Amino acid sequence: MERRFDEELMQLKNRLLTMAGLAEQSVGKAIRALVDRDAAMAEKVIQEDALINQAEMEIEKNCLDLLARYQPEARDLRFIAMVFKIVNDLERVGDQAVNVSERTLDLLKEPLLKPLIDIPKMAELAQRMLKDALDAFVHQNADLAREVCRRDQEVDHLNDEVYHELLVFMTQDPRTITRAMDLILIGRHLERVADHATNIAEDVYYLVRGISMKHHIAGS
């Protein structure tokens, strides 16, 4: 019984990691579609979000099923509750990739406004944060979790830069307004991806250390 349960927990973890991979890739593809001006790829991200949604529902069901069948205690219970929370964040990461893709399809109606530098950099950071937050979870690594949270400020900073740079475009030439707006929104969607990674990392920290880093990380 015990061993069977451990196997099922392992399966749950693998399902979670598969879903995390999908979510992370969807962000990667969404940004590649933007940079390469590839409408087909953007459409693909939008379509494939259904897989992420499906994974969320299956994993949630899996969690409830494990709780009902094994009635796990303290540590395992918190692990399962954590998975239950993480899939929620991952599902929303998928939604952000969809949002980016929708903005991209909008942007493709007009010529390129400017070469993209900070936005791909933000995407890379956010993807990395997501990956590391999941690694921190799998290896119960509180230091890595804290490190992920710190990096959130870098993404926020880049996002501010993106915003102010594009504001200048808009102010100088009204013809750039719709495109600049789309790019500003894309910056915000990526910032949200980093926020989800941060949520996960905060929860991992709490799970491992038993004290919360959440809601007062800003000052660190």
Is the CB of 36 or the CB of 53 nearer to its own copies?
53
* Least CB distance to its own copies at residue 211 (A): 11
* Least CB distance to its own copies at residue 220 (A): 16
The residues binding its own copies (CB under 8 A) are 50, 53-54, 57, 60, 63-64, 67-68, 71, 73-74, 77-78, 81, 84-85, 88, 167, 170-172, 174, 177-178, 181, 184-185, 188, 212, 214-215
Is the CB of 117 or the CB of 177 nearer to its own copies?
177
Which tokens is 12 given?
Answer: 């749950």
How far apart (Å, rounded) are the C-alpha atoms in residues 130 and 17?
Answer: 11
Is the CB of 50 or the CB of 117 nearer to its own copies?
50
* Least CB distance to its own copies at residue 54 (A): 8
Is the CB of 10 or the CB of 167 nearer to its own copies?
167
Is the CB of 24 or the CB of 182 nearer to its own copies?
182
Q: Any idea what DSSP says for residue 214?
A: T
Please, are residues 148 and 214 in contact by the beta-carbon 8 Å criterion? no
Is the CB of 38 or the CB of 156 nearer to its own copies?
156
* Least CB distance to its own copies at residue 199 (A): 9
Q: Any idea what DSSP says for residue 175?
A: G
CB atoms near residue 61 (< 10 Å): 10
* Least CB distance to its own copies at residue 114 (A): 17
CB atoms near residue 110 (< 10 Å): 12
Residue 6 CB-density burial (10 A; 0-12 exposed, 13-18 middle, 19+ buried): exposed
- CA of 23: how far to CAs of 55, 93, 175, in Å? 10, 6, 34
Q: Where are the alpha helices (DSSP H) in the chain?
A: 2-36, 39-70, 74-107, 118-138, 142-172, 177-209
- CA of 13: how far to CAs of 25, 58, 115, 138, in Å? 18, 13, 40, 8
* Least CB distance to its own copies at residue 53 (A): 4
